[in-house]
Chain A
Protein backbone atom coordinates (compact mmCIF):
# COMPACT_ATOMS: atom_id res chain seq x y z
CA UNK A 1 0.00 0.00 0.00
CA UNK A 2 1.29 3.45 -0.90
CA UNK A 3 2.22 5.76 1.95
CA UNK A 4 1.24 9.38 1.35
CA UNK A 5 2.91 12.38 2.95
CA UNK A 6 1.54 15.89 2.75
CA UNK A 7 3.15 19.05 4.04
CA UNK A 8 1.49 22.34 5.00
CA UNK A 9 3.84 25.26 5.49
CA UNK A 10 3.12 28.75 6.67
CA UNK A 11 6.06 31.00 7.57
CA UNK A 12 6.77 29.88 11.14
CA UNK A 13 4.90 26.57 11.15
CA UNK A 14 5.28 23.38 9.17
CA UNK A 15 2.86 20.49 9.56
CA UNK A 16 3.56 17.12 7.98
CA UNK A 17 1.02 14.31 7.90
CA UNK A 18 1.60 10.73 6.82
CA UNK A 19 -0.90 8.01 6.15
CA UNK A 20 -2.46 5.47 3.86
CA UNK A 21 -5.60 5.45 1.75
CA UNK A 22 -8.49 3.50 3.18
CA UNK A 23 -9.08 1.16 0.28
CA UNK A 24 -12.06 -0.44 2.01
CA UNK A 25 -13.78 2.96 1.76
CA UNK A 26 -12.92 3.19 -1.98
CA UNK A 27 -10.45 6.02 -1.47
CA UNK A 28 -8.02 6.95 -4.24
CA UNK A 29 -4.33 6.12 -3.94
CA UNK A 30 -3.29 9.72 -3.26
CA UNK A 31 -5.63 10.17 -0.29
CA UNK A 32 -5.09 9.63 3.41
CA UNK A 33 -7.83 7.76 5.20
CA UNK A 34 -5.64 6.20 7.88
CA UNK A 35 -3.29 8.63 9.61
CA UNK A 36 -0.08 6.96 10.67
CA UNK A 37 1.70 9.99 12.08
CA UNK A 38 2.20 13.73 12.02
CA UNK A 39 4.97 16.17 12.85
CA UNK A 40 4.70 19.85 13.64
CA UNK A 41 7.68 22.17 13.54
CA UNK A 42 7.30 25.64 14.98
CA UNK A 43 10.12 28.17 14.84
CA UNK A 44 12.46 28.02 17.85
CA UNK A 45 10.60 25.06 19.34
CA UNK A 46 11.24 21.32 19.40
CA UNK A 47 9.49 19.21 16.79
CA UNK A 48 6.19 17.78 17.95
CA UNK A 49 4.81 14.47 16.83
CA UNK A 50 2.03 12.15 17.76
CA UNK A 51 -0.91 10.05 16.76
CA UNK A 52 -4.25 10.98 15.28
CA UNK A 53 -5.73 11.54 18.76
CA UNK A 54 -3.04 14.11 19.53
CA UNK A 55 -3.62 15.93 16.24
CA UNK A 56 -7.37 15.94 16.85
CA UNK A 57 -6.77 17.28 20.34
CA UNK A 58 -4.53 20.04 18.97
CA UNK A 59 -7.15 21.02 16.45
CA UNK A 60 -9.94 20.83 19.02
CA UNK A 61 -8.31 23.45 21.23
CA UNK A 62 -6.54 25.73 18.75
CA UNK A 63 -9.49 26.35 16.41
CA UNK A 64 -12.04 27.42 19.08
CA UNK A 65 -9.33 29.48 20.79
CA UNK A 66 -8.67 31.34 17.52
CA UNK A 67 -12.42 31.83 17.05
CA UNK A 68 -12.71 33.34 20.54
CA UNK A 69 -9.65 35.55 19.98
CA UNK A 70 -11.41 37.02 16.95
CA UNK A 71 -14.28 38.14 19.18
CA UNK A 72 -11.86 39.56 21.73
CA UNK A 73 -12.52 36.78 24.27
CA UNK A 74 -9.24 35.38 25.54
CA UNK A 75 -9.96 32.32 27.61
CA UNK A 76 -8.10 29.00 27.93
CA UNK A 77 -9.15 25.80 26.17
CA UNK A 78 -8.27 22.26 27.16
CA UNK A 79 -9.16 18.81 25.85
CA UNK A 80 -10.91 16.27 28.04
CA UNK A 81 -7.91 13.94 28.00
CA UNK A 82 -5.65 16.89 28.83
CA UNK A 83 -3.17 16.26 26.00
CA UNK A 84 -3.28 19.83 24.75
CA UNK A 85 -4.26 23.12 26.30
CA UNK A 86 -3.96 26.70 25.08
CA UNK A 87 -4.53 29.97 26.84
CA UNK A 88 -3.55 33.61 26.92
CA UNK A 89 -0.14 34.55 28.30
CA UNK A 90 0.02 38.34 28.71
CA UNK A 91 0.23 39.59 25.09
CA UNK A 92 1.01 36.14 23.67
CA UNK A 93 -0.46 32.62 23.86
CA UNK A 94 0.76 29.53 25.67
CA UNK A 95 0.34 26.12 24.09
CA UNK A 96 0.89 23.27 26.52
CA UNK A 97 1.35 19.69 25.34
CA UNK A 98 1.27 16.71 27.66
CA UNK A 99 2.72 13.43 26.47
CA UNK A 100 0.73 10.21 26.82
CA UNK A 101 3.96 8.48 27.85
CA UNK A 102 4.74 8.37 31.54
CA UNK A 103 7.67 10.33 32.90
CA UNK A 104 7.71 12.91 30.12
CA UNK A 105 7.35 16.48 31.32
CA UNK A 106 4.72 18.65 29.65
CA UNK A 107 6.01 21.00 27.00
CA UNK A 108 4.97 24.66 27.09
CA UNK A 109 5.36 26.79 23.97
CA UNK A 110 4.90 30.53 23.88
CA UNK A 111 3.37 31.69 20.61
CA UNK A 112 2.97 35.28 19.47
CA UNK A 113 0.00 36.38 17.36
CA UNK A 114 1.86 35.70 14.11
CA UNK A 115 2.81 32.16 15.14
CA UNK A 116 -0.71 31.43 16.30
CA UNK A 117 -2.12 32.52 12.95
CA UNK A 118 0.51 30.41 11.15
CA UNK A 119 -0.55 27.37 13.14
CA UNK A 120 -4.23 28.09 12.51
CA UNK A 121 -3.58 28.42 8.78
CA UNK A 122 -1.71 25.10 8.67
CA UNK A 123 -4.55 23.37 10.50
CA UNK A 124 -7.09 25.05 8.20
CA UNK A 125 -5.31 23.78 5.14
CA UNK A 126 -5.14 20.27 6.55
CA UNK A 127 -8.82 20.40 7.48
CA UNK A 128 -9.87 21.57 4.03
CA UNK A 129 -7.53 19.33 2.03
CA UNK A 130 -9.68 17.03 -0.09
CA UNK A 131 -6.93 14.41 -0.16
CA UNK A 132 -6.97 13.96 3.62
CA UNK A 133 -10.26 12.18 4.13
CA UNK A 134 -10.40 12.11 7.89
CA UNK A 135 -13.46 13.28 9.77
CA UNK A 136 -12.44 16.08 12.09
CA UNK A 137 -14.97 16.37 14.86
CA UNK A 138 -14.92 20.11 15.21
CA UNK A 139 -17.90 22.21 16.26
CA UNK A 140 -19.10 24.62 13.58
CA UNK A 141 -18.12 28.25 14.04
CA UNK A 142 -21.03 30.02 15.69
CA UNK A 143 -21.61 33.53 17.05
CA UNK A 144 -20.62 33.63 20.71
CA UNK A 145 -23.32 33.91 23.38
CA UNK A 146 -23.78 37.35 24.85
CA UNK A 147 -22.54 36.37 28.33
CA UNK A 148 -19.14 35.39 26.92
CA UNK A 149 -18.80 38.73 25.16
CA UNK A 150 -19.85 40.65 28.26
CA UNK A 151 -17.07 39.04 30.27
CA UNK A 152 -14.39 40.60 28.04
CA UNK A 153 -15.53 44.07 29.11
CA UNK A 154 -13.60 45.20 32.20
CA UNK A 155 -15.62 45.43 35.41
CA UNK A 156 -15.03 49.18 35.65
CA UNK A 157 -16.58 49.73 32.20
CA UNK A 158 -19.33 47.18 32.74
CA UNK A 159 -20.60 48.45 36.06
CA UNK A 160 -19.19 52.01 36.04
CA UNK A 161 -22.21 53.81 34.55
CA UNK A 162 -24.79 52.00 36.73
CA UNK A 163 -22.68 52.57 39.85
CA UNK A 164 -22.29 56.25 39.01
CA UNK A 165 -26.03 56.58 38.39
CA UNK A 166 -26.90 54.87 41.67
CA UNK A 167 -24.40 57.02 43.56
CA UNK A 168 -25.80 60.22 42.02
CA UNK A 169 -29.34 59.18 42.99
CA UNK A 170 -28.33 58.35 46.57
CA UNK A 171 -26.40 61.63 46.92
CA UNK A 172 -29.35 63.66 45.64
CA UNK A 173 -31.75 61.84 47.99
CA UNK A 174 -29.53 62.39 51.04
CA UNK A 175 -29.06 66.09 50.26
CA UNK A 176 -32.82 66.45 49.86
CA UNK A 177 -33.35 64.86 53.30
CA UNK A 178 -30.94 67.29 55.00
CA UNK A 179 -32.47 70.43 53.50
CA UNK A 180 -35.29 71.99 55.64
CA UNK A 181 -38.73 72.08 54.18
CA UNK A 182 -39.84 75.57 53.07
CA UNK A 183 -42.79 77.19 54.90
CA UNK A 184 -46.15 76.60 53.28
CA UNK A 185 -47.55 79.96 52.13
CA UNK A 186 -50.82 78.39 50.98
CA UNK A 187 -51.84 77.53 54.58
CA UNK A 188 -51.42 81.17 55.73
CA UNK A 189 -53.64 82.37 52.90
CA UNK A 190 -56.43 79.99 53.89
CA UNK A 191 -56.25 81.22 57.48
CA UNK A 192 -56.51 84.88 56.40
CA UNK A 193 -59.56 84.46 54.21
CA UNK A 194 -61.42 81.62 55.97
CA UNK A 195 -63.32 81.71 59.25
CA UNK A 196 -61.25 81.85 62.36
CA UNK A 197 -61.19 78.59 64.14
CA UNK A 198 -61.15 80.12 67.61
CA UNK A 199 -64.24 82.28 66.96
CA UNK A 200 -67.46 80.83 68.39
CA UNK A 201 -69.93 79.76 65.81
CA UNK A 202 -72.70 81.51 67.68
CA UNK A 203 -70.99 84.87 67.17
CA UNK A 204 -72.24 85.08 63.64
CA UNK A 205 -76.02 85.49 64.03
CA UNK A 206 -78.17 84.11 61.29
CA UNK A 207 -80.99 86.30 60.42
CA UNK A 208 -83.67 83.70 59.83
CA UNK A 209 -86.54 86.17 60.13
CA UNK A 210 -85.51 88.14 57.10
CA UNK A 211 -85.12 85.13 54.94
CA UNK A 212 -87.59 85.13 52.04
CA UNK A 213 -88.07 81.42 52.49
CA UNK A 214 -89.09 81.74 56.10
CA UNK A 215 -91.36 84.67 55.30
CA UNK A 216 -93.52 82.42 53.19
Chain B
Protein backbone atom coordinates (compact mmCIF):
# COMPACT_ATOMS: atom_id res chain seq x y z
CA UNK B 1 0.00 0.00 0.00
CA UNK B 2 1.03 3.59 -0.59
CA UNK B 3 2.82 4.99 2.45
CA UNK B 4 2.45 8.19 4.42
CA UNK B 5 3.48 11.27 2.40
CA UNK B 6 7.23 11.70 2.49
CA UNK B 7 7.23 15.23 1.11
CA UNK B 8 6.08 18.31 2.96
CA UNK B 9 3.82 19.03 0.01
CA UNK B 10 3.22 21.56 -2.68
CA UNK B 11 0.78 24.42 -3.05
CA UNK B 12 -1.72 23.49 -5.71
CA UNK B 13 -3.37 25.98 -7.98
CA UNK B 14 -7.08 26.23 -8.63
CA UNK B 15 -7.02 23.77 -11.53
CA UNK B 16 -4.97 21.29 -9.52
CA UNK B 17 -7.43 21.35 -6.60
CA UNK B 18 -10.38 20.96 -8.97
CA UNK B 19 -8.77 17.94 -10.62
CA UNK B 20 -7.75 16.34 -7.33
CA UNK B 21 -11.27 16.59 -5.96
CA UNK B 22 -12.71 15.25 -9.23
CA UNK B 23 -10.44 12.23 -8.96
CA UNK B 24 -11.71 11.60 -5.44
CA UNK B 25 -15.27 12.01 -6.70
CA UNK B 26 -14.58 9.45 -9.44
CA UNK B 27 -13.28 7.05 -6.79
CA UNK B 28 -16.54 7.51 -4.89
CA UNK B 29 -18.47 6.81 -8.08
CA UNK B 30 -16.49 3.62 -8.64
CA UNK B 31 -16.82 2.42 -5.06
CA UNK B 32 -20.25 2.80 -3.47
CA UNK B 33 -18.65 2.84 -0.05
CA UNK B 34 -15.90 5.17 -1.25
CA UNK B 35 -16.21 7.77 1.52
CA UNK B 36 -15.69 5.20 4.25
CA UNK B 37 -13.00 3.43 2.24
CA UNK B 38 -11.07 6.69 1.90
CA UNK B 39 -11.15 7.26 5.63
CA UNK B 40 -10.15 3.67 6.33
CA UNK B 41 -7.31 3.84 3.79
CA UNK B 42 -6.06 7.15 5.19
CA UNK B 43 -5.93 5.57 8.65
CA UNK B 44 -4.10 2.55 7.24
CA UNK B 45 -1.57 4.97 5.78
CA UNK B 46 -1.07 6.62 9.17
CA UNK B 47 -2.90 9.86 8.42
CA UNK B 48 -5.21 9.80 11.45
CA UNK B 49 -4.08 13.23 12.56
CA UNK B 50 -4.70 14.64 9.10
CA UNK B 51 -8.11 13.07 8.55
CA UNK B 52 -9.46 11.88 11.92
CA UNK B 53 -13.03 11.71 10.59
CA UNK B 54 -15.14 12.17 7.48
CA UNK B 55 -15.86 15.81 8.26
CA UNK B 56 -12.16 16.73 8.25
CA UNK B 57 -11.70 14.93 4.94
CA UNK B 58 -14.73 16.72 3.51
CA UNK B 59 -13.40 20.10 4.74
CA UNK B 60 -10.13 19.55 2.86
CA UNK B 61 -12.02 18.66 -0.29
CA UNK B 62 -14.14 21.80 0.00
CA UNK B 63 -11.19 23.87 -1.23
CA UNK B 64 -12.42 22.93 -4.69
CA UNK B 65 -13.97 26.11 -6.11
CA UNK B 66 -16.48 24.08 -8.13
CA UNK B 67 -18.26 22.84 -5.00
CA UNK B 68 -21.54 24.22 -3.72
CA UNK B 69 -19.93 24.95 -0.35
CA UNK B 70 -16.40 26.09 -0.97
CA UNK B 71 -13.59 27.34 1.27
CA UNK B 72 -11.81 30.40 -0.02
CA UNK B 73 -8.45 30.07 1.73
CA UNK B 74 -5.70 28.15 -0.13
CA UNK B 75 -5.21 24.46 0.59
CA UNK B 76 -2.28 23.73 2.91
CA UNK B 77 0.58 21.93 1.11
CA UNK B 78 0.55 19.08 3.63
CA UNK B 79 -3.19 18.53 2.98
CA UNK B 80 -2.61 18.51 -0.77
CA UNK B 81 0.16 15.93 -0.39
CA UNK B 82 -2.03 13.74 1.82
CA UNK B 83 -4.88 13.86 -0.69
CA UNK B 84 -2.48 12.99 -3.54
CA UNK B 85 -1.25 9.94 -1.60
CA UNK B 86 -4.84 9.01 -0.79
CA UNK B 87 -5.84 9.15 -4.47
CA UNK B 88 -2.92 6.89 -5.43
CA UNK B 89 -3.72 4.41 -2.67
CA UNK B 90 -7.41 4.30 -3.57
CA UNK B 91 -6.55 3.91 -7.26
CA UNK B 92 -4.39 0.93 -6.33
CA UNK B 93 -7.31 -0.61 -4.42
CA UNK B 94 -9.69 -0.05 -7.32
CA UNK B 95 -7.19 -0.96 -10.03
CA UNK B 96 -9.00 -4.13 -11.22
CA UNK B 97 -12.12 -2.04 -11.83
CA UNK B 98 -10.15 0.65 -13.66
CA UNK B 99 -8.52 -2.02 -15.77
CA UNK B 100 -11.88 -3.48 -16.76
CA UNK B 101 -13.15 -0.07 -17.82
CA UNK B 102 -10.09 0.72 -19.94
CA UNK B 103 -9.46 -2.68 -21.45
CA UNK B 104 -10.38 -3.22 -25.09
CA UNK B 105 -10.31 -7.00 -24.58
CA UNK B 106 -13.47 -7.01 -22.47
CA UNK B 107 -16.82 -7.59 -24.23
CA UNK B 108 -18.08 -4.29 -25.65
CA UNK B 109 -21.55 -4.62 -24.20
CA UNK B 110 -20.25 -5.28 -20.70
CA UNK B 111 -17.78 -2.40 -20.93
CA UNK B 112 -20.57 -0.08 -22.06
CA UNK B 113 -22.73 -1.15 -19.12
CA UNK B 114 -19.86 -0.43 -16.73
CA UNK B 115 -19.31 3.02 -18.23
CA UNK B 116 -23.03 3.76 -18.04
CA UNK B 117 -23.08 2.82 -14.38
CA UNK B 118 -20.07 5.02 -13.67
CA UNK B 119 -21.64 7.86 -15.64
CA UNK B 120 -24.87 7.59 -13.66
CA UNK B 121 -23.14 7.57 -10.27
CA UNK B 122 -20.69 10.34 -11.12
CA UNK B 123 -23.47 12.51 -12.52
CA UNK B 124 -25.47 12.07 -9.29
CA UNK B 125 -22.47 13.00 -7.18
CA UNK B 126 -21.65 16.03 -9.32
CA UNK B 127 -25.27 17.25 -9.21
CA UNK B 128 -25.37 16.76 -5.46
CA UNK B 129 -22.08 18.43 -4.54
CA UNK B 130 -21.00 20.78 -7.29
CA UNK B 131 -22.22 24.25 -8.20
CA UNK B 132 -24.27 23.75 -11.39
CA UNK B 133 -23.74 27.37 -12.50
CA UNK B 134 -20.02 26.82 -13.05
CA UNK B 135 -18.97 26.19 -16.66
CA UNK B 136 -16.74 23.26 -15.71
CA UNK B 137 -19.63 21.60 -13.86
CA UNK B 138 -21.94 22.16 -16.82
CA UNK B 139 -19.38 20.42 -19.03
CA UNK B 140 -19.21 17.51 -16.57
CA UNK B 141 -22.97 17.12 -16.86
CA UNK B 142 -23.17 17.70 -20.60
CA UNK B 143 -23.43 14.34 -22.40
CA UNK B 144 -21.35 15.80 -25.27
CA UNK B 145 -18.27 16.27 -23.05
CA UNK B 146 -18.85 14.04 -20.03
CA UNK B 147 -17.79 10.75 -21.65
CA UNK B 148 -14.40 12.14 -22.66
CA UNK B 149 -13.83 13.73 -19.23
CA UNK B 150 -14.77 10.50 -17.46
CA UNK B 151 -12.37 8.51 -19.61
CA UNK B 152 -9.60 10.99 -18.79
CA UNK B 153 -10.34 10.68 -15.08
CA UNK B 154 -10.37 6.86 -15.13
CA UNK B 155 -7.21 6.79 -17.28
CA UNK B 156 -5.50 9.16 -14.85
CA UNK B 157 -6.40 6.96 -11.89
CA UNK B 158 -5.01 3.89 -13.68
CA UNK B 159 -1.70 5.61 -14.45
CA UNK B 160 -1.20 6.98 -10.93
CA UNK B 161 -2.18 3.84 -9.03
CA UNK B 162 0.25 2.80 -6.34
CA UNK B 163 3.27 4.44 -4.77
CA UNK B 164 4.96 4.94 -8.12
CA UNK B 165 2.15 7.22 -9.26
CA UNK B 166 2.50 9.84 -6.53
CA UNK B 167 5.22 11.88 -8.25
CA UNK B 168 3.43 11.64 -11.59
CA UNK B 169 0.13 12.83 -10.13
CA UNK B 170 1.78 15.67 -8.20
CA UNK B 171 3.58 16.86 -11.32
CA UNK B 172 0.35 16.69 -13.35
CA UNK B 173 -1.59 18.69 -10.78
CA UNK B 174 1.12 21.37 -10.88
CA UNK B 175 0.82 21.84 -14.65
CA UNK B 176 0.33 25.49 -15.61
CA UNK B 177 -2.97 26.57 -17.09
CA UNK B 178 -2.57 26.60 -20.89
Contact = CB atoms under 8 A, between A and B. Distances in A.
B158 A117 contact: yes
30 contacts: A12-B103, A43-B105, A67-B168, A67-B171, A69-B155, A70-B160, A70-B169, A71-B175, A72-B152, A112-B102, A112-B105, A114-B98, A114-B99, A114-B102, A114-B103, A114-B105, A114-B158, A121-B95, A121-B164, A123-B164, A124-B162, A124-B164, A125-B162, A127-B164, A140-B167, A143-B171, A143-B174, A143-B175, A144-B176, A150-B178
Contacts of B159: 66, 69-70, 116-117, 120
Contact of A117 (B98, B167, B170, B171): B98
Nearest to A11: B99
Give the one of A11, A70, A118, A146 with max B CB within 10 A.
Answer: A70
Interface of A: 11-12, 43-44, 66-67, 69-72, 92, 112-118, 120-121, 123-125, 127-128, 140-146, 149-150, 152-153
B103 A112 contact: yes
B170 A141 contact: yes
Nearest to A149: B178
A67 B98 CA distance: 18
Interface residues of B, number: 30
A57 B178 CA distance: 30
B172 A70 contact: yes
Contacts of B104: 92, 112, 114
Contacts of A123: 164
A113 B102 contact: yes
Contacts, number: 89
B96 to A, nearest CB: 7
A44 B164 CA distance: 26
B163 interface: yes
Contacts of B96: 11
Contacts of A124: 162-165
A149 B163 contact: no
The secondary structure that dominates the A interface is helix
Query: What 6 A-B pairs have minimum CB-CB distances, sorted nearest first?
Result: A124-B164, A114-B103, A117-B158, A141-B171, A114-B102, A149-B178
A175 B98 CA distance: 57
A113 B175 CA distance: 22
A120 B168 CA distance: 11
B172 A71 contact: yes
B168 A121 contact: no
Nearest to A151: B178
Interface in B100-118: 100, 102-105
B176 A143 contact: yes
Contact of A153 (B156, B161, B164, B178): B178
A152 B99 contact: no
Interface in B120-168: 152, 155-156, 158-165, 167-168
Nearest to B103: A114
Nearest to A117: B158
A142 B173 CA distance: 10
Contact of A121 (B103, B161, B167, B175): B161
A117 B176 contact: no
Contacts of A44: 105
Nearest to A143: B174
A72 to B, nearest CB: 7
A128 B164 contact: yes
Given A113-B102, A149-B178, A121 B162 contact: yes
